[in-house]
Amino acid sequence: MKRLWSPWRMKYVLNNKTKGCIFCKMSEEKRDKKNYILYRGEHGYIIMNLYPYNNGHLMIVPYKHTHTIEKLNKAEASDFIELTGKSVAALKEAFSPDGFNIGMNLMEAAGAGIEAHIHMHIVPRWNGDTSFMPVLFETRVIPESLDDTYSKLLPFFLKISSTPASYKKKKGAGSRKHL
């Protein structure tokens, strides 16, 4: 019998009992590096997926706690898309992927892992990145640690982190600066 070691999964198994919304809690904490938050916008933030489908898998998360996209107002929806574009630009510079999968899973039937708080997935793709592992064994191989990926991506987000004059700090929104 062959074994595939993935010790990082134990953290997921043990921490999967968080009460309340994990996205709301992380946005309020002042531990961006520990939580892998790369950038804070006016109405949302960019975070690395702790259990990525591919290296560099990011998520856009609005500060507003909502399970449905139609509850975002015009400014929040605009920021949501703007952060998606910033993420694509940073991933292009840092990793030169051949393409992207971008999307949302809304509600349980669509595969939402965190159904109560919407979020956009940005998954960089490379030609040939789907090998026999996910096809035959339903297992993905991530070639780099989250800490290393965070260190590679952070400089690209720090370049775009200047605060616009119209920015007003919102309760729970944290600071746009990297913490």
Q: Is 65 a catalytic residue?
A: no
- For residues 175 and 160, give the distance between their C-alpha atoms in angstroms, rounded to a whole number: 14
- Which residues is 101 bridged to in the sheet? 123
User: Where would I find the beta strands (DSSP E) of 33-166?
Assistant: 37-40, 44-48, 58-62, 99-103, 120-125
**Which of 43, 57, 117, 119 is an active site residue?**
119
End-to-end CA distance of the chain: 45
Name residues whose C-beta falls within 8 Å of residue 103's C-beta, 6 or more positions apart in sequence: 120, 121
User: Where would I find the beta strands (DSSP E) of 17-144?
Assistant: 37-40, 44-48, 58-62, 99-103, 120-125
Catalytic residues: 119
